[in-house]
């Protein structure tokens, strides 16, 4: 399943997407997320992998995430982010430059 997010697309395995849908159904109304649910769930598309291992992203989703020629795929544990290559590199550079902002949170999780 591929869903639109403001600056990128997220690709989920069906089981992960169904778990997310369950959370949205049970908690979304309480959190006032109707607009987000309409945007994200309304734009979901099931993309089939072809014989060469490729997926074809619909034009609406590509436009929504500003995908032109070169894209970057980033594994995010439960999903894959699909975004513009230059935007991805800018985000990586920004995170690297501001790494200290993440240190406290990582320390609380026992990672640092």
Looking at every residue in the chain, the average pLDDT score rounds to 88
Categorize the per-residue pLDDT at 13 as very low, low, confident or very high, splitting at 50, 70 and 90: very high
- What would the two tokens of residue 84 be? 């513009």
Residue carrying the six token digits 């169904």: 18
The answer, yes or no, to whether residue 28 has pLDDT greater than 80, is no
**Domain residue extents for the chain:** 2-84
Contacts (Cβ under 8 Å, ≥6 apart) of 84: 8, 65, 66, 67, 68, 70, 71, 72
Phi, psi of 108 (to 5 degrees): -60, -30
Alpha helices in 3-112 (DSSP H): 14-27, 34-42, 59-64, 85-97, 100-108
pLDDT in tens, 68-93: 889 999 999 999 999 999 999 998 99
The pLDDT value recorded for residue 24 is 86
**CATH code that applies to domain 2-84:** 3.40.1550.20
Whether pTM > 0.85 for this model: the answer is: no
Range 1-22 average pLDDT: 86
Report the C-alpha gap between 39 and 14 in whole angstroms: 19
């Amino acid at each position: 399943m591929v869903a639109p997010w403001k600056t990128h697309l997220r690709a989920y395995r069906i089981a992960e997407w169904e778990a997310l849908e369950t959370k949205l159904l049970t908690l979304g109304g309480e959190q006032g997320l109707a607009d987000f649910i309409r945007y994200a769930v309304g734009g979901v598309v099931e993309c089939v992998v072809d014989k060469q291992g490729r997926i074809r992203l619909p034009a609406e989703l590509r436009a929504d995430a500003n995908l032109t020629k070169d894209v970057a795929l980033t594994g995010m544990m439960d999903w894959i982010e699909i975004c513009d290559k230059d935007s991805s590199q800018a985000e990586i550079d920004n995170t690297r430059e501001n790494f200290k902002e993440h240190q406290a949170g990582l320390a609380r999780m026992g990672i640092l």
